[in-house]
């Protein structure tokens, strides 16, 4: 087990430090919206591998360590390939529950930019593999913070009215909220779309799509205030993961363009500095506010030390499956003992009223 664990750690470490192609961002020298336009010029004119080609791209960009499809809307272990060949790729039949078929989810719905319009239609950076049932439930609703869920997927993604409070204040309609461990991923896909298609955003805004509320019709600022605050908060609370870096590299190999906000997370606040400054005046749960020890450990428990009020602990394995979920854990002298843990590499998500933070845990 120690050898297996070490291999996993080395693999993830290698992914985390994958090199950005030399000189790729050499012309990104500005700040504010000038920087956004410079990034647009770097990542535009990507190779369109067609809508059908997305299923080929997913086999390298969205594959779990166990070889199944990595779907951010569920914990299902979908099998790559057509149904005729033993896979679970959508074949057009109706589904009645999760984990039956997977298809392609436009995180910015087609109804916003035009059904089948290229190259948006088949851009793997923001078109994800997704459970067919959850994809249909999400429909073309914007992303947001759900206050009362009318639907919850098996990994915690939710549908319901937006919480008109805090960083999500300003909208009360129906929204789709991804699971905590993927909120930063989704936010960085939003920033990619607004940058890659900067020159088309004003024309997209004529749409009547429900998702239109996420945008403001401009090519530079791009987002309406409420949703920009949501995406910046998710971006800050859920940092870039090894999964995202690996995905970015795999899509670059297929499309020849990258998501700048995965390679350089700091670009977000260099572009949308006004909103970042306003949000920074609020308190957020930061990585250094939480200490986990011993880590790595040869035992089956770790201690979590923090002065913050933690409302939920979620332990996730490398396949994206939730191993433990503890609501309102009781800390004694600012310490909580997380016990009875299996061996392996895990992500521990801690939630509070100030946001979320994710820590890596290794149990040998």
How far, in Å, CA of 304 to CA of 116, rounded? 49
Report domain extents, the chain.
31-280, 287-363
Residue showing tokens 């009020």: 309
At residue 284, the pLDDT reads: 62
At residue 1, the pLDDT reads: 29
At residue 281, the pLDDT reads: 62
Between CA 90 and CA 348, with CA 250 as vertex, the angle to 5 degrees is 85
CATH number for domain 287-363, candidates 2.60.40.1930, 3.20.20.120, 3.40.50.11600, 3.10.20.30: 2.60.40.1930
pTM attached to this predicted model: 0.78
pLDDT (tens digit, 0 to 9) for every residue of the chain, 364 residues total?
233 333 333 333 333 344 799 999 999 999 999 999 999 999 999 999 999 999 999 999 999 999 999 999 999 999 999 999 999 999 999 999 999 999 999 999 999 999 999 999 999 999 999 999 999 999 999 999 999 999 999 999 999 999 998 889 999 999 999 999 999 999 999 999 999 999 999 999 999 999 999 999 999 999 999 999 999 999 998 889 989 999 999 999 999 999 999 999 999 999 999 999 988 766 566 777 899 999 999 999 999 999 988 988 989 887 778 889 998 899 999 999 999 999 999 989 888 867 778 888 999 9
CB under 8 A, 24+ apart: contacts of 61-70: 61/124, 61/246, 61/247, 61/250, 61/251, 61/254, 62/128, 62/129, 62/247, 64/318, 64/319, 64/320, 65/8, 65/318, 65/319, 66/319, 68/319, 69/102, 69/129, 70/129, 70/243, 70/320
At residue 112, the pLDDT reads: 98
């Amino acid at each position: 087990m120690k050898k297996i664990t070490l291999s996993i750690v080395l693999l993830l470490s290698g992914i985390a430090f994958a090199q950005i192609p030399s000189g790729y961002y050499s012309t990104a020298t500005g700040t504010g919206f000038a920087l956004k336009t410079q990034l647009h010029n770097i990542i535009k004119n990507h190779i369109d591998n067609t809508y059908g080609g997305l299923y080929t791209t997913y086999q390298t960009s969205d594959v779990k360590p166990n070889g199944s499809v990595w779907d951010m809307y569920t914990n299902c272990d979908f099998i790559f390939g057509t149904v005729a060949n033993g896979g679970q790729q959508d074949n057009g039949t109706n589904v009645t529950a999760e984990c039956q078929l997977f298809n392609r989810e436009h995180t910015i719905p087609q109804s916003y930019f035009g059904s089948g319009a290229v190259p948006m239609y088949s851009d793997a950076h923001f078109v994800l593999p997704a459970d067919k049932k959850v994809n249909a439930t999400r429909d073309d609703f914007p992303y947001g913070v759900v206050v009362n869920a009318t639907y919850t997927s098996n990994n915690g993604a939710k549908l319901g009215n937006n919480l008109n409070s805090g960083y999500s204040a300003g909208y009360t309609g129906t929204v789709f909220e991804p699971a905590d461990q993927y909120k930063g991923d989704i936010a960085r896909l939003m920033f990619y779309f607004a940058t890659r298609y900067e020159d088309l955003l004003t024309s997209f805004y004529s749409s009547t799509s429900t998702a239109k509320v996420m945008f403001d019709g401009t090519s530079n600022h791009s987002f309406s205030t409420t949703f920009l605050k949501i995406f910046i908060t998710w971006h800050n609370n859920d940092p870039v993961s090894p999964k995202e870096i690996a995905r970015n590299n795999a899509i670059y190999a297929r499309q020849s363009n990258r998501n700048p906000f995965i390679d350089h997370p700091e670009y977000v606040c260099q572009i949308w500095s006004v909103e970042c400054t306003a949000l920074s005046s609020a308190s957020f749960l930061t990585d250094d506010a939480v200490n986990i020890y011993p880590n790595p450990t040869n035992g089956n428990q770790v201690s979590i030390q923090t002065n913050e009020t933690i409302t939920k602990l979620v332990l996730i394995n490398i396949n994206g499956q939730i191993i433990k979920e503890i609501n309102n854990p009781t800390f004694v002298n600012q310490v909580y003992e997380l016990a009875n843990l299996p061996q392996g590499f895990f992500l521990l998500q801690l939630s509070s009223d100030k946001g979320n933070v994710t820590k890596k845990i290794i149990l040998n």
